[in-house]
Amino acid sequence: MKIHRFKCSAELNQEIMNFSQIHKFDVDETLSEHFTEWLEHHKDLITREAEYLKRHEYDDPIETKIYKSIKYYYMKKFTTEPPKKKEKKKATKIDPQIMQQIKADLDHHFQTNPDFKPSETYEQFKKNDDPLIKKSYKNQYYQIKNKRYNINERQLS
């Protein structure tokens, strides 16, 4: 089976991580020099990995793959801050009576003209300028549409 993407062995991966952490702030020229030295120092490990990849029909030079992964993945991993956790918005619920009216209105439109636009029918339905009602209306439209579409797909199969 031909390999298109691969993960290095655990031992090589650890060495790559160590190298990346040490040289995370190096400029390209310096990084290339240190990488060449690192390759010489870890020649046996890299040769074993290259043989494994050749047996699995990976054609690209392993040195190129390692250098790119160091430069574009591992070094970024060590230099970027962990993402800040966003506070979840408190869920706001819509009045159940209004939700029933929305569903009834959408069902009516699906029965009369299945190709209607929710933006046009919402203008007719609009009770007030509450953005939550508008969002709920469009959300219900897509839920009902997807539900009906999936039923039709199953029937065609």
Query: pLDDT (tens digit, 0 to 9) for every residue of the chain, 157 residues total?
Result: 455 556 778 888 889 889 988 888 888 888 899 999 999 999 999 999 888 888 877 777 888 888 888 888 877 766 556 667 788 877 778 889 999 999 999 999 989 988 888 888 998 888 778 888 999 999 999 898 888 766 544 444 4
Coil, helix or strand for 18? helix
Helical residues (DSSP H) of the chain, grouped into ranges: 10-22, 28-41, 43-55, 62-69, 75-79, 96-112, 118-125, 131-156
pTM equals 0.47
Amino acid code (one letter) for 83: P
